[in-house]
Amino acid sequence: MEDNIMMISGNAFKQMLAEAAYEGAKKALNEIGTQDKVRKEWLSLKDAVSFLSDKGISISMGHLKNLTYRDEIPSYKINRKLSFLPQDLELWVERNAQSSRQSLEDAACGLARSAQRKGAHSKTM
């Protein structure tokens, strides 16, 4: 018997694993009649934009797609459609808010240093 070995990338493996988990959960829940609960957990691209909008982040579908392609926001392909988990989006919002606060603090410190230098420079003239 011949063993076939196939190499796949990490992202492709994550996608295959997510799809297999989704299909397994969908099948199990379908057997007990609660398939709709599985569908509600995954967000479509449009639903993800609405979800982020509810969190105070205005983002277009195109920009969200670009962020997923750059692996800045976790996403999955299920049945060839981009899908998101709400908890992944919440984590991204949290991290994004922290980096925005840090950027504002850095900008404020830079302005303060610039003002101090200008003040010191005008005193010497």
Report if residue 37 sits inside a domain.
no
What is the distance between the terminal CA atoms of the chain, rounded to a whole angstrom? 88
Residue 27, pLDDT > 50, answer yes
Confidence of residue 123 (pLDDT cuts 50, 70, 90): low
Q: Which residue has the tokens 């799809």?
A: 19
Predicted pLDDT at 74: 92
Predicted pLDDT at 48: 95
Report if residue 99 sits inside a domain.
no
Supply the range of the domain harboring residue 74: 42-92
Report if residue 111 sits inside a domain.
no
Burial of 51 (0-12, 13-18, 19+ CB in 10 A): middle
Confidence of residue 35 (pLDDT cuts 50, 70, 90): very low
Say which range, 33-37, 51-55, 67-71, 118-122, has the weakest mean pLDDT: 33-37
H helices, E strands: number in the chain? 5, 3
Residue 122, pLDDT > 70, answer no
